[in-house]
Amino acid sequence: MKSLKLFSIGLLAVFMSSNALAHSDIELTLQNNKIIVDPHNEAMLAGGYKLFEADFGEFLNPYGTDDPGFNGFGLVSNSLIWYQVENTLKKWDVLSSSWLSTGFNEQIEIEKASITNIVSATNGLGDQGFIGSVSASGGLHTHVDFQISSAGGGNPDDGAYLLELSLFDTHNDDALTPISLISDKFFLAFHLNEGGTFGHEAFEQAIAAVPVPAAVWLFGSGLALLGFGRRKIMAA
């Protein structure tokens, strides 16, 4: 009994050391017919854009996470929420203390409901995927799976990685037409320290140097939603 108790305590410690029990969801709602990310302004800002942090490393999955989740309220009843990738993947370079846009093999896979997108230094810009279904009362609570790997083989490097996303909504029965105005872009900054070579202090240094994003959402980007709707119907 004593050994079983010690094992249980050790297992709990493993969970507590991962991000399985500690995370902060991304809140979203509607204001003036526009999707608003972080309506209470609790997230930090990077170049005027909201930034959310996440740690890779879950129980039995050192290179994956389903955090942060998405927690919505006041959304269109029974609508669908989607993301769009607004930039290619960036990686923090310790030697130059800058974010790299090229010259690395790491990639982040975003997966939900049989829709998978891979974002790398050369791939993923403009890709769109599923976040979750809104309830009849306008609520949403869901998680998306993020997995980091190296396209060149082997394990990905410890470090910081940056995704730039936006959100939009559609009706269940009309995948071609967004309901509301698309959200402002926001950052997801991922921390990987599986090898123990990139601690939180190094991660915070990378966060402090997040680059200012490209121009705010342009009309031309919205045109991509039409093509996505057709692809989504075919996938269904």
pTM of the predicted protein model: 0.83
Please write down the HEC assignment for all residues of 113-172: CCEEEEECCCCCCCCEEEEEECCCCCCEEECCEEEEEECCCCCCCCEEEEEEEEEEEEEC
Contacts of 204 (CB under 8 A, 6+ apart): none
Helix (H) / strand (E) element for 207: namely: helix 200-208
Report yes or no: 221 and 84 within 8 Å, Cβ to Cβ: yes
pLDDT in tens, 162-217: 999 999 999 988 877 899 999 999 999 999 999 999 999 999 999 999 987 765 43
Report yes or no: 6 and 13 within 8 Å, Cβ to Cβ: no
Residue type at 224?
A: A
Q: pLDDT confidence of 111, banded at 50, 70, 90?
A: very high
Q: Tell me, what's the pLDDT at 16?
A: 40
pLDDT in tens, 64-97: 999 999 999 999 999 999 999 999 999 999 999 9
Give me 39's structure tokens.
């309506």
Nearest CA to 168 out of 226, 236, 234 is that of 226
Task: Tell me the pLDDT of the chain averaged across its residues.
Answer: 85
Q: Tell me, what's the pLDDT at 177?
A: 86
Q: pLDDT confidence of 49, banded at 50, 70, 90?
A: very high
**What is the average per-residue pLDDT within 153-163?**
96
Residue 38 has pLDDT above 90, yes or no: yes
